Structure formats: structure tokens, C-alpha cells
Structure 1
Amino acid sequence: MKSILIVDDEISIRQSLEGILEDEGFQTAFAATGEDAINLIQEEDPDLVLLDIWMPGIDGLETLKRIKHQRPNQLVIMMSGHGTIETAVKATRLGAYDFIEKPLSLEKVLLSIQNAMKIGQLVAENQALKEKINRDYEMIGESPAIAKLKKQIAIAAPSSGWALITGENGTGKELVARAIHSQSTRHGKPFVEVNCAAIPEELIESELFGHEKGSFTGATAARKGKFDQANGGTLFLDEIGDMSLKTQAKILRILQEHKFERVGGNRTIEVDVRVIAATNKDLEEEIKEGNFREDLYFRLNVLPFTVPPLRERKEDIPRLTKHFLQYFCSKESREIKSMEKGALESLISYNWPGNVRELKNLIERLVIMTPEHIIRMADLPHAITKGAPVKATSTNAMGEMPDSYREAKELFEKQFLLEKLKKNNWNISRTAEEIGLERSNLHRKIKTYGIEPNKA
């Protein structure tokens, strides 16, 4: 039952409201003064307060002010037989949901209470959703590398500077971006994410800047872009290293001028957006190869963050494993009570090429597929129980050692992808899921390295 605290010095009003509200299924409590009301709220935790303005001792407006100071989300409806527009406005500014004049109308009281309860439910649901989002995007770990990163975020987040987050696939670059946003002065405003690698080149300008009706085939109505949607908040450009030079030039202009035109339009739109970019590429190397604009790099790299790979923070693996176990057990309605010591040691020994995303995907699979209440060594994939992923060859096709770090990295990546594709019978979706890579990214890498089944 929903509870309502009635605060009025007139006993007839209290008795009348008691009968009406209890007939409607509400539980009621009473106070004759503002002081009593404040004390009762702490004890009774009512869902709503009906508060008279003119009372002995502190009046209703002062009582409202003190209630809101102690409990900002408390729903309060004011009542008065001597109400004025000025009093109603003041009560609303202090946080009252509604203002009802006496003599009270039964229909108006019940309608106001019903509407207030709906608002209260929405506020509670919104708060619960925010808490769930915060848990889902929590940065788990206390290793020196993560502790250093969290400290850097705490220092940089309150500023307005643009940020560039670098790190391998699956390390948690989005978590860093969300942490920066949540600790900034923009935390109550939108956080809008764009995966630059997942949007076709011909559509990315429309996605970022929006378009006007009729600007291209299929544009049946005007549409706001991501910059519009993020106005006042944060725009997260993930995988920015995959953005074309043409789009990079337009992004640079927005960062410099804070204005743009929609596709097919000529109206200039001004925005206030904090841009956070992320990439798994070495942008300095991309600049040398002519794939990334140097001026955009320096514009974005005001606040640089590097997310460490999981193999450099293995002391966090037990906590991450426990967190993912709890999360997926709750999601899948399963009960996994523990993990065998040897199984956990295997997780710690493994090199995790797919980083935290690979660990998360593995734990989800184990929660779903493990028949018992404990995860054992036998439940783990063969590669993990051996303690290391597939090793790349150390020489290129000519039998020579690579001349550069970049060449060695590409050689390893090609061999790693080849082995994983073979293991999964060349199933792209299954391979992408196993290694923690976006399907579109995997397709691009296969094309880049010229990997084909008939040549493998």
C-alpha cells in the first residue's frame, strides 16, 4: 500500500482526508505541525505528503524547504485556504509537486495524488536505471595500471578538454569514456556513442551531422545527427582511426568552430559538445602513412589516455571474473557458486588477446553451458588450459625476421586470425565473438591481410 502523510492543524481536515484516502487504498499517517511532520517523515518514509501552508510553529513553506533539504525526491502536495499565485509559485520553486486550494475538492485531491504517484514511479525507475547503467559500465580492478588510469580520469574529467583514448580491442575504452563523462560537469547531459568503423562511408556524414528532407534517396524527413543529439553533453567517437580523410576534415571544422550544416542543408547549427575519441590504431603511424590528419590528431590529443591490455593487469582477473559471474548468473537465472582454483589459475595464466571483452564473453559462455554449480578446469576451452593463445610465426613469407615492430605486429595478427578462423571453420560471426572483435572489423582485417580459405 502506498502511504500518505497528512500534515494539517485542523483535525476535521485530517479526519476527512483519512476516510477518503483509506477508501482509495492508501495507508495514512498524521501530523498537526511542521516539526512533527519532519520527524514522522524520517520514521514513516511516506510515498507522498499532503502539507498545509498555514500552521502553528513553522509554516508549510518552511516545512517544505526542510523536507526537501533532507529528502530531495520526496513528493509533496501543498494545501491552503488562503493561497495566492505568489504563494503557489514559491511552493513550486521550493519543490512542491502541486498546489491545491481549500475547500478541498475530492476529485482534484485524488487526481493530483494519482499524477504525483506516477511521477514518483518514473523518478524511481529512472534512478534504478541510472544505477544499473553505472554498474554495467563500472571499471573493475585495483591493479597499479588501473589505479593510475582512474586517477588520471578523476583529474581530467571535470575539465572541458577533448580526450583521446588508445588501447587494444576489448580493453574497455568505452568504459573510460563513460567514466570521464560521468565525472564531468556534463554528467546530467547526453552521452552519445558513434562506432565510426561500423557505419558505411556513404552514411557517416548523415549519421554525424544529420540531414534535411530530400537531401538523398530515402531521406523522407529531416533527421538530427549525433552532434545535435549530444548538444550540451559528450560525443564518443569510437574507432576514429577508421574514419575517412573527408569526414576527418569536417570533424576538425566542428571542433574548431562548434558549428556545422546538415547534409543537404545550408543552415548553420551551433553545438556545445565535448568530444572523446578512441582508437586501437597507432595514429602517429597512420599519420605517416597518410591515413589520418595530423591537425585532427593534435586537436583531439589534448587529454591522452592509454587503457592497459589485460595481460598487463592480471591481478585484476579474479575480481573481473567474480564480477562477470555475478552479472551473468543474475541475467541468466543461474547459480554458479564458485570456480575451481586450477580453473582460476588458468584464467590468470592465459594471455588474453581479446582482453577484458574476451574474458567477459568466456564467463557468459561458462555460466550458460556449465551444468554444475562450480566451474572446473574441464569446462574451460583448450587454449586457456594450455596457458597461452596460439603463437604467431616469427618470420615472414620470405623466412626473414620482421624489420619493424609494426610488421611484427601485423604478422602476429594475421597468423592469429588465420588460426582462429580455421578453428571456427571460417565462421566469421563465431570467430569475431570468440576473439572479442566487431564483425565488421574482422571482415576488414581479413580483406586487408588477404586471408582466404582456399589460400590458407
Structure 2
Amino acid sequence: MTLPTVLVADDDRSIRTVLTQALGRSGYQVRTTGNAATLWRWIEEGEGDLVITDVVMPDENGLDLIPRIKRLRPELRIVVMSAQSTLMTAVKAAQRGAFEYLPKPFDLKELLSVVGRALAAPAVQAAEAAPRSDMDERMPLIGRSMAMQDIYRVIARLTTADLTVMVSGESGTGKELVARALHDYGRRRGGPFVAVNMAAIPRDLIESELFGHERGAFTGATNRNQGRFEQAAGGTLFLDEIGDMPPEAQTRLLRVLQEGEFTTVGGRQPIKANVRIVAATHRDLRQLIRAGTFREDLFYRLNVVPIRLPPLRERAEDIPILARHFLQKSQQNGLAGKILTDDAIQRLQSHRWAGNVRELENLMHRLSALYPQEVINGEVINAELAENALHDDVPAVSGEGEGLAGAVERHIRQFLAASRDGMPMRDIYDRVIAEVERPLIQMTLASTKGNQIKAAAMLGLNRNTLRKKIRDLEIPVVRGVG
């Protein structure tokens, strides 16, 4: 039985040696080279069952070599390695036909696993993967930590499919940036990207906002209005803070995902839904399902491909590159350039960052605007973090242990931030009161097994008042009790 042959191209001799030894011990024949020309000659001669290639080589970029290989030998699997561990590298590798992308430094066990899967995968005569000429080279996501590398690889795989994606993570981690990357580098990049924040729209207007309405559908509906689904036709619809979607809208959205069509509010004619949906939340949807405020069947329809964005404190190694990126953005906007000292970087890395990447970005812009000196040291960072320390002693966004006042304050800040970002914001007082009352009444009813008389006594409310609130807040009750 002939052993599979792995062709390795990397201009780093030590990497070639490590791979030769590891692959040899695993039962593979190995041929190595430090340039693309030799690798291409071997491929032309029909050698090799698998290619492992670096991106940066002295005579040719490994990514540029992939389309040529796929044209000549489309069945040949290609694994790309790169020290340029960015989202763009992962996306380009996937779109040009690579089987897998591995950032350097790589884990040998993972590489051997990838090799095994690549050689075992059935041969597929794939369509030619041509380089994209319209790809924006700007970095939508920044970071070289392993946590971010995993996200880059998932995004890269999803650029060739329209699967529904659920992005989770604390506020400020960059969930909309992930949604935009999925759109900008995916098959629907020629269509619109439409974002809607569930938390920033009054609950009674969400259905109209998403699905549109007909003239006369409700008081004040003097014209037919397109909803976000129609506006996003051919593109991507980003549903941010999906956990805040009211039950009626959840039912309508479930129908869209199941049937691929919807009707406007007051309309009868079904409209085909031609969108890719990316949803996002900072809340624990499974907890909301247990509380009865989020549909379990909708969760599974949305959670086809889950992407969890790590909080900044879990990828502190990315803070230096992020901080310098934001300082460069400030300089491009006309502010003076700044340099961070080593102790400034260390202080940034030790901070908890309750506001995550957004908090870091705001700090860098503030430093650029307010401080005259070019060099920013640790003392300046300490002073700024102390001056603006609103959440240093507050646990993460999960809400556990932060107290009712802290949770409400965090929620209100999100409303106000959405308003500053241009989202419509109305009836904030009623909205906040409703969001406090709803879980309070639901949990009280649960503790009394649906007995409204006992629940009213616990809450200090008149029974009729409680009934009205249950009806107004659309809280499900256990029939026949209390």
C-alpha cells in the first residue's frame, strides 16, 4: 500500500523540519521546499496527495498559487499556513479553494488532524475558485489571539453559504462587525446590509418595522411602508438584540425561517423572503427560553451556526494591536499621533474592560483628543481608567451579582447608545418599566404556580391591577389557577 505524500512549501527551514518529522511519524511520505516554483513543478508532475503551503514565500504568494493548483488538479487538497493571522487571510484562503487555514504558530496535533481529515475527504470536482478583485482590504475585525483565529476560520467557511448565524457576546465585543464581515465577504455582498436593533424599537412597532404594513393597517398607517425584510432583499438582515423581540414578532420570524415568506401587517399576499439572517444577542437565550419569553423552536432556527465573541479580558494579548489601531484611526481623523509606553500597554491589559472593545476604542480616542503629549504612559492610563471607572467592580454582562440598579443602568445605557447611533428611541420610560415588571410578575406567578391571588399579595397589588398588567404585558398564565 502506497503511503500518502504530503508536499510542504515554507521558506522557514525549522518549520519544514518539524513538519517532516511529525508527518513522517504519522505514516506519511513528505517532500519539502522553500519556494513556490518547486512546489508548482511537483504539482505539474502529478506528485502529492496533499499540499501544505505558507502564504509568504520568496517567489510567489501561496494564496495566489491556489487557483492555479485548483485549475490543474481540482481534487488536490490544500492547507494554508500563515503568520499573517488576520480575517482577510482566512477569507482569501477559503474563497480560493483551500481545505483549511491554520495560523502560525500552529498546534501539531491540530495540523495532523487537519491532514487526516483532508486526505479522508471525498474528492469533489469543485468550481474554479477565482480571486476576488472587489475585496475590501480593510480589517473589519482585529486580533491575533487563538480565540479570534477560530472566529476568522468560521467566518471564512461561511462566506460560501447562506446559513443563518447567531452571534453572541457581551456588549461592545463587535457583534455587528461579524455580521458585516459575513455580508461583505459572502455571496450577498452585492445586496444591502440592513441592521435593526430590537432593543431600540417600541415593542408594538417591531412587527411593522420588520415586515412593513399596509395603508390603514392601524391608526396612523396612512401609507404602505416597506419593512426591513423587503429593504434587505438580496442582502443580509442583521437582527441585533434578538432576545428583546416580543412574542408576536417571534412567531412571524419563525414563519419566515420555516416557510421562506411573510406578510405585511394588514396584508394578505405572501412575500418571498430573500435575505440572509444574522442574529445577535448579549443575553442568554436559553435562560430566556426557560423563563418563557423566547421561543425554543425559534432559537434552534436561528442558532444554525453559533459564533461566540469573547470579551476583551479573555483576549488581552490583542489589546496592544487594537489600541494602536484606534490611535491610528484618531490620527487619520485629524488628531495628533500618540505612542503607548510598555507600562501603558501593561495597564491596559490588566484592566477588566466591562465595555470591551468599544470601551477601549473610546479611551484611545479620548487620549488622542485631550492629551498634548505624544507619549502616553501608565500614569495617564491609570488616571483615565480611574476617572471613568463606572463598572470596574461590576461582574460581566451576564448580570449575576450586579444588583437590580446596576442591571437597569446597563440596559438604559444600551438604549441611549442606540439612540446616539441613530436608532429611533421613543417611550423609554414605559419600555424600561415594562421590562422590569414583566420578569417580576412572571417569576412571582411561577413561584405561586399561577395563583394570581397569592401573586397579587406577594407583589402588594390589587388582584384586578395584577390581571390588567398580565394582559397589558402579554404574560402567559396557567389557566384555571387563582
Q: Secondary structure at the match of 2:330?
A: helix
The gaps in structure 2 that reach 5 residues or longer are: 1-132, 438-482
Once the two structures are aligned, what percentage of the paired residues are identical?
Answer: 44
Change beyond 3 A, Cα 1:217–1:290: same
The corresponding residue for 2:337 is 336
Per-residue Cα deviation, 1:255-292 (whole angstroms, up to 9, x for no partner): 11111111222222112111111111111111011010
* Structure 2 CA distance for aligned equivalents of residues 205 and 431 of structure 1: 19
1:276 to 275, 278, 297: 278
The corresponding residue for 1:174 is 176
* Structure 2 CA distance for aligned equivalents of residues 311 and 171 of structure 1: 10
The corresponding residue for 1:35 is none
Coordinate RMSD, CA, aligned: 3.5
Change beyond 3 A, Cα 1:287–1:215: same
User: 1:388-407, aligned counterparts within 5 Å?
Assistant: 390-392=392-394
The structure whose Rg is larger is 1
**Is residue 410 of structure 1 aligned with residue 410 of structure 2?**
no
The corresponding residue for 2:349 is 348
Check the 8 A contact 1:337/1:373 in 2, yes or no: yes
**What TM-score do the two structures reach when normalised by structure 1?**
0.58
Check the 8 A contact 2:323/2:364 in 1, yes or no: yes
Per-residue Cα deviation, 1:344-390 (whole angstroms, up to 9, x for no partner): 22111101011101111111222211122232334336473699953
1:266 to 256, 265, 268: 268
Match for 2:275: what amino acid? V
User: 1:46-445, aligned counterparts within 5 Å?
Assistant: 131=136, 135=138, 138-331=140-333, 333-380=334-381, 382=383, 384=385, 390-392=392-394, 409-412=399-402, 414=404
Return the offset for 1:244. Answer: 0.6
* Structure 2 CA distance for aligned equivalents of residues 205 and 387 of structure 1: 38
Per-residue Cα deviation, 1:400-425 (whole angstroms, up to 9, x for no partner): xxxxx99x84323657569x89xxxx
Per-residue Cα deviation, 1:47-86 (whole angstroms, up to 9, x for no partner): xxxxxxxxxxxxxxxxxxxxxxxxxxxxxxxxxxxxxxxx
Change beyond 3 A, Cα 1:447–1:201: closer
Check the 8 A contact 1:432/1:439 in 2, yes or no: no
How many pairs align?
A: 298
Change beyond 3 A, Cα 1:362–1:300: same
Q: Secondary structure at the match of 1:380?
A: helix
The gaps in structure 1 that reach 5 residues or longer are: 1-126, 394-404, 422-427, 451-456
* Structure 2 CA distance for aligned equivalents of residues 365 and 387 of structure 1: 11
Match for 2:300: what amino acid? F
* Structure 2 CA distance for aligned equivalents of residues 195 and 347 of structure 1: 30
Q: Secondary structure at the match of 2:199?
A: coil
Per-residue Cα deviation, 1:118-143 (whole angstroms, up to 9, x for no partner): xxxxxxxxx99x95xx73x7100010
**What TM-score do the two structures reach when normalised by structure 2?**
0.55
* Structure 1 CA distance for aligned equivalents of residues 406 and 345 of structure 2: 24
Match for 2:239: what amino acid? L
* Structure 1 CA distance for aligned equivalents of residues 254 and 372 of structure 2: 53
Q: Secondary structure at the match of 1:203?
A: helix
Q: Secondary structure at the match of 2:306?
A: strand
Check the 8 A contact 2:172/2:357 in 1, yes or no: yes
Per-residue Cα deviation, 1:159-179 (whole angstroms, up to 9, x for no partner): 121111111111111111111
Return the offset for 1:183. Answer: 2.5
Change beyond 3 A, Cα 1:439–1:350: farther
Check the 8 A contact 1:197/1:242 in 2, yes or no: yes
Return the offset for 1:339. Answer: 1.8
* Structure 2 CA distance for aligned equivalents of residues 357 and 411 of structure 1: 23
* Structure 2 CA distance for aligned equivalents of residues 171 and 287 of structure 1: 24
* Structure 2 CA distance for aligned equivalents of residues 386 and 184 of structure 1: 42
